[in-house]
A and B are shown apart, each in its own frame.
Chain A
């Protein structure tokens, strides 16, 4: 794949070339993965009972009505033809028309994507530093009281079903204390303050869900490095412990940590379905479920593409960060 960037490879320093090489290779395999995802989504959604015409007309549909609507939606053409047509559209950057909402898929996504990104962004901003702090603190004090308390905390965090956390949060902070809204009312008119208040409980719930795993991975990665010989050496040389952790241990441990963080964060887009349902948050995950239930193929495909691309991008960022931060890989 390096052949795609020969001039860069020659001129750029070694680290940059490694990254360029990686990005180029990943871009190619990402396209392959996206293609696979679209085929898988198309195939398994073909297994679903009913189609968009039937779901639109619902319980009260008569066969004649269904046939007429099916024709109007273009569902009377064979599946592969529809897939190729959709693929052609995507290649021209046109995700097509929603079968059910009677508007371009692009417009529907444009309404929801910023919400999902905002929710994921807020959660990441809180959860990642929190998890790092917890993981590092536990690792540094491994075996001690702090470690045990933190370990118990992360354990209990993963031990409660997400929907229960959300419901309890609402009961305490919205119904009892009246501090925070119980539903996320994000709209273009809402002020920044209102939006943040609206997102508080969803962000709290999601943080609960993702922080534990990240904190545990951080702890494990840190401990693996703390036990390495060079730390002992540095300690013997009299380097302050804080400096060792920040300058020597962190760079080496960051690879597995960012990888775990990337996996957790990719959950925030597609996995937020329960939080989106409970808080009535207009995000992409509920849109995708909606697309499944209404058999809205173009919309479903677009959601799947976005989730897949986001996942691949996060993993790529994680790898790049790992390479950049690790002197050995850079060299």
Chain B
């Protein structure tokens, strides 16, 4: 705990705000469903799009369900899907990049062309095809989001890895007869971690937004649950009356992504300084 506090204190103000927001949403994702006052699918309000009240802290949604409860559940889906997919994308992309950077030649060519192939198929069309083919499930959404962002991570990781691979100490290690795996994991990877962490954060933000885009196309989480983007989407007709049902999840996405960004930014600065 003291470690955490001293870490927090070491950050500049925007970083602290970011850390707070990220922790807030992590907590909401972990504990939210326990705190939810109503069941996620329960029709509790006779009226729809009702304003904030003591009974419904964030009003009711387009079907008369409690927005707060749905938001707390939605945060869980968005945060964990986003984190999971971002991690998966980064690990996959970086591993491929290391393979490409160490082997170069035709291995690099094949991996790079495969990545070009993936990146040039529009992600939402890809998602549409996958969901139509395999039916929507959490694992599939995770996979789609990850696959979509593997090429981006690969490009960055490969560029860094190639730079590092050309460094003297790597050439030296190679001359010493180190195996490619040892070079990749022992010499190159440790020096990539930092920029990759920043990239991971960015991927997370993109994935949260991709998920909300997918929910626009009707490809989100299964009902009665909904991720934050789906909550915005399903309540969009409340936008003209300024219903909390749409403002709350939109704000949730905004604070989550802005928070993550601020934190990453601060981390980057803290380390380079």
Is A100 on the interface with B (CB-CB < 8 A)? no
**CB nearest to A295 among chain B residues:** B132
On chain A, the residues within 8 Å of B213 by CB distance are 161-163, 274
Give the distance in Å from the alpha carbon of A159 to the alpha carbon of B212 in the complex: 11
Give the distance in Å from the alpha carbon of A47 to the alpha carbon of B112 in the complex: 25
Is B257 on the interface with A (CB-CB < 8 A)? yes
Contact of A44 among B112, B129, B233 (CB under 8 A): B129
A37→B117 contact, CB < 8 A: yes
B129→A159 contact, CB < 8 A: no
Is A164 on the interface with B (CB-CB < 8 A)? yes
Interface string of B119-145 (1 = CB under 8 A from A): 111111110111011100000000000
A307→B114 contact, CB < 8 A: no
- Specify the main secondary structure of chain A where it touches its partner: helix
| A273 and B124 in contact, given A48-B133, A49-B133 (Cβ under 8 angstroms) | yes
Is A228 on the interface with B (CB-CB < 8 A)? no
| A167 and B236 in contact, given A44-B130, A311-B116 (Cβ under 8 angstroms) | yes
On chain A, the residues within 8 Å of B74 by CB distance are none
On chain A, the residues within 8 Å of B261 by CB distance are 155, 158-159
Give the distance in Å from the alpha carbon of A307 to the alpha carbon of B125 in the complex: 12
On chain A, the residues within 8 Å of B121 by CB distance are 37, 40-41, 270, 304, 307-308
| A307 and B117 in contact, given A158-B209, A160-B253 (Cβ under 8 angstroms) | no
B120→A156 contact, CB < 8 A: no
B132→A161 contact, CB < 8 A: no
Listed residue (A158, A159, A271, A285) with the most chain B CB atoms within 10 angstroms of its CB: A159
Is B250 on the interface with A (CB-CB < 8 A)? yes
B124→A156 contact, CB < 8 A: no
Is A288 on the interface with B (CB-CB < 8 A)? yes
Interface string of A275-310 (1 = CB under 8 A from B): 001000000010011001100000000001001101
Is A171 on the interface with B (CB-CB < 8 A)? yes
On chain B, the residues within 8 Å of A277 by CB distance are 216
Is A57 on the interface with B (CB-CB < 8 A)? no
| A308 and B117 in contact, given A155-B261, A162-B209, A292-B125 (Cβ under 8 angstroms) | yes
Listed residue (A158, A161, A271, A310) with the most chain B CB atoms within 10 angstroms of its CB: A161
On chain A, the residues within 8 Å of B255 by CB distance are 159
Give the distance in Å from the alpha carbon of A21 to the alpha carbon of B127 in the complex: 36
Listed residue (A156, A270, A285) with the most chain B CB atoms within 10 angstroms of its CB: A270
On chain A, the residues within 8 Å of B254 by CB distance are 156, 159-160
Contact of A161 among B116, B120, B250 (CB under 8 A): B250
B 97-127 contacts with A by CB, 8 A:
109, 112-114, 116-117, 119-126
| A292 and B212 in contact, given A36-B113, A155-B258, A164-B232 (Cβ under 8 angstroms) | no
Kindly provide the distance from the CB of A209 to the nearest chain B CB, expressed in whole angstroms.
9
Give the distance in Å from the alpha carbon of A215 to the alpha carbon of B217 in the complex: 28
Listed residue (B117, B126, B265) with the most chain A CB atoms within 10 angstroms of its CB: B117
Among all A-B residue pairs, the 5 with the closest Cβ atoms: A270-B122, A308-B120, A47-B133, A159-B254, A161-B212
Give 29 CB contacts A-B under 8 Å.
A36-B113, A36-B117, A37-B120, A40-B121, A41-B121, A44-B126, A45-B129, A49-B133, A155-B257, A156-B254, A159-B257, A161-B212, A161-B216, A161-B229, A163-B233, A167-B236, A167-B239, A168-B239, A263-B152, A266-B120, A270-B122, A273-B217, A274-B213, A285-B124, A288-B122, A288-B125, A307-B120, A307-B121, A312-B116
